Amino acid sequence: MCGSLLSTSEETWTGPPEALLATAERLKQASGLLVPHDGGPVADVQGRPERWALLGLLTGAARRGVPVLAWGSGAALAGRALGAKVHAGAPDWSELPRGATVQRWHGEMPLHWTAGRVTAWAAPQLPDDLHKAFLASLPELTSRTPATLFEELGGEAALRPLLADFYAAARADDLLGPVFGRHVQDWESHLERVSAFWATMLGGSGTGVVWRGNLNTVHTGLEVRAAHLERWLELFAAAAHRHLCEEHAALLLRRGEVMAKRLGKARGAGSGTFT
């Protein structure tokens, strides 16, 4: 098979064959991705950046067409990455993702399901025949789908800390801080909405929440001036360069510049006032 077999956990995969620890960079050349049961939470991952990182890897694998075999909590992660509702349990388990096919039920829980090149087994112990069938299928599943810009930048795992860093700087800024202070009361919810916005604009879906709205409408009434947009771009650029490589920062900043120009044009602003 071409490429390396990856696993999200070295400790819970004993092989054979040997699997490398999965990273976003290795995923680009992976022959397949194993997501073993690790007992970690899936239904509630607030404050768990390592779980967001796993969801980002799974989203990237599914979009690229990398074959995935997930079981136990790994199957719940796969379901959540595909937009399915996840129920708390031992382990957590997901409902059937849209478009998926159930191979076997266990009560109301889809025990064995497939969605594209994702194969999931909801129980913690993976049947040996399912493992062997997955490995045997890999040589025939070598085609891949080009990644979206969202995936190329590192997905949710890269975007959320970048945005959190940016907004921390913006809140402390003499020019932008008062604007945000007047209009944002719940910063956690604000970060969720902005994360969904950027994920959608970059071609991804983040945690499965797709932003729907009008950029100009959202900013109506904020009394934003050209100077605010210029400062916004400065702070956003600084955060991008702190969290991303030069190439990826440049890609993200081009999108930010386009967004700023649209806001300015909608208000007929040059260097003057636009409200």
pLDDT per position as a tens digit, 61-72: 998 899 999 999
**pLDDT for the residue 108:** 94
Task: List Cα–Cα distances, 135 to 25, 70, 145, in angstroms.
Answer: 22, 13, 20
CB-CB contact of 20 with 120 (8 Å): no
**pLDDT for the residue 230:** 92
**pLDDT for the residue 275:** 25
pTM as predicted: 0.57
Has domain 150-266 been given CATH number 1.10.10.10?
no
**pLDDT for the residue 86:** 96
**pLDDT for the residue 13:** 59
Tokens of 183: 């209009």
CATH 1.10.490.10 in the chain is located at 150-266
Has domain 4-145 been given CATH number 3.40.50.880?
yes
**pLDDT for the residue 220:** 54
Tell me, letter by letter, the H, E, C secondary structure of 191-218. HHHHHHHHHHHCCCCCCCCCCCCCHHHH
Q: What is the pLDDT of residues 32-48, one digit of tens each?
A: 999 999 999 999 998 89
Which residues does the chain have with pLDDT short of 70? Answer: 1-2, 11-16, 146-147, 205-223, 265-275
CB-CB contact of 3 with 64 (8 Å): no
CATH 3.40.50.880 in the chain is located at 4-145
Amino acid at 202: L
**pLDDT for the residue 267:** 47
